[in-house]
Amino acid sequence: MQITGITQHHLTHQLDGAFEPTWIPGYPQGVHELELFEVETDAGITGITASPSFAGGLDYADALSVFLAGEDPHDVEGILRKLDAVDLVGPRPWHVELALWDIIGKDAGKPVYELLGAAAEPIPVYASTGEAQPADERLPYVETRIEEGFEAVKLRVESPGDIETVRGVREAFPELTLMVDANKGWSVRVAREEERWSFADALGFARGLEEVGDVAWLEEPLPRHDYRGYARLRKKTDVPIAGGEFNDGPHQFREFVQQESLDVLQPDAALATGIKRGTEVAAMADLHGLEFVPHTWTNGVGFAANLHVMAAADSAWCEYPFEPPWTPAVRDFLLTDTIEHDGGYIEPPSGPGLGIEIDRSVLDEG
Ligand SMILES: [Mg+2]
């Protein structure tokens, strides 16, 4: 089998309103943008992948074709070596690799998780918020999620003073598992810069979380390449420290492991590792007694890919992005079917390949 060509579609989907993600400080997001790629083969099988997009995105299907045309999509390792320099022309390579697994799975008639040697065990989902809201605004959201079956919620915080938000939610819901994301690892700085935390801010916040109790992790309180800072912080607090969603490639996760920086590794298959390297990072985490809980906040294709990796890695939690008007239907607007949780648990799609289908009608609108 040979790859014959690549087609790219820039897709946009209007939200029913807007929300203010902490990772794009000061910017109300009212549209979901992505780049969808169809990787075609001479066997008539097409693999899909998608990457997040912003401000109109980049066109690079022609450049990708130079890397991929004529290659056998089953040769994931060989193609990854070729893609190693794809950032010469713009994008990180990781999302491209998802399409190979989609093709391989469709060719074999098996879902990707089976190719990775996994069974489809239900994974508990946690509701991942997007805005830093004070506790009184956040409480109705939490209550609704609990009614829907969620056993954990991840709160967003911006300032050290937002420890009050976490305290307020904990007081109202003493049994709920909480995650807390400071989003200081990276950000999209188009409207304003994020509020950086000093090491002392991060440590003070972690100490506050120790008092709150039952906090599964504190995520990205420091810049994503501050491996030493994370290691220092981790030594000084009992709260597990998480990160890595936007680190680039397995070698950066090796750095987190070698420097003993993190308790929870969060590589996103679509952003940070691809599927094969994701499972390698998961194996590294397991060998070192660390948790592996990928970031998933991209789009329906990235979400599905991460579900297959999570199934293979036996992840303790699945991030389920949910901050209306950013809903699962908005996340998956390009798919024929929204990937839903069932009473707080989720399984990877069971169809061949990634197990998802593109809603062709959105291609005309895009
Ligand atoms: Mg995060």
User: What confidence tens digit (pLDDT) does each residue in 211-266 have?
Assistant: 999 999 999 999 999 999 999 999 999 999 999 999 999 999 999 999 999 999 99
To 10 degrees, the CA torsion angle through 193, 199, 204, 208? Answer: 70
Q: 75 CA distance to ligand 1 centroid (A)?
A: 32
Residue 318 and residue 304 in contact, taking contact as beta carbons nearer than 8 Å: no
For the chain, give the mean pLDDT.
97
For residue 151, the CA-to-ligand 1 centroid distance in Å is 18
Determine the distance separating the centroid of ligand 1 and the alpha carbon of 76, expressed in angstroms. Answer: 28
- The answer, yes or no, to whether residue 366 has pLDDT greater than 60, is no
Span from the CA of 246 to the centroid of ligand 1 (angstroms): 9
Strand partners, 8: 37
Q: How far apart are CA 299 and CA 296, in angstroms?
A: 8
Dig out the tokens for 62 from the structure.
Answer: 């022609």
Single pTM value for the model? 0.97
**Annotation: CATH topology of 115-346:** TIM Barrel (3.20.20)
Is the Cβ–Cβ distance between 100 and 276 less than 8 Å? no
CA of 163 to the centre of ligand 1 (A): 17
Q: Start-end ranges of CATH 3.30.390.10 in the chain?
A: 3-109+359-365
Q: Which residue type sits at 303?
A: F
CATH topology of domain 3-109+359-365: Enolase-like; domain 1 (3.30.390)
Q: HSE (CB half, 13 Å, CA atoms) of 108?
A: 18
pLDDT of residue 364: 75
**36 CA → ligand 1 middle, Å:** 23
Helix axes 274-287, 94-108, angle to 10 degrees: 100
d(CA 269, CA 130) in angstroms, rounded, equals 20
What per-residue confidence (pLDDT) applies to 350? 97
Phi, psi of 121 (to 5 degrees): -80, 140
Written as six digits, the tokens of 206 are 């972690």
| Residue ranges of the chain that CATH labels 3.20.20.120 | 115-346
Going from the Cα of 159 to the center of ligand 1, the distance in angstroms, rounded, reads 15
Q: Assign 365 a pLDDT band (cuts: 50, 70, 90).
A: low
Tens of pLDDT along 94-137?
A: 999 999 999 999 999 999 999 999 998 999 999 999 999 999 99
The predicted model gives 7-31 an average pLDDT of 97
Separation of CA 361 and ligand 1 centre (Å): 32
How many whole angstroms from 322 Cα to the centroid of ligand 1? 13
With beta carbons less than 8 A apart as the criterion, state whether 333 and 15 touch. Answer: no
Q: What is the 295 CA–ligand 1 centroid distance (Å)?
A: 7
- Cα–Cα distance for residue pair 92/146, rounded to 1 Å: 37
CB 48 within 8 A of CB 29: no
Distance 112 CA to ligand 1 centre (A): 25
Q: Which pLDDT score is estimated for 227?
A: 98
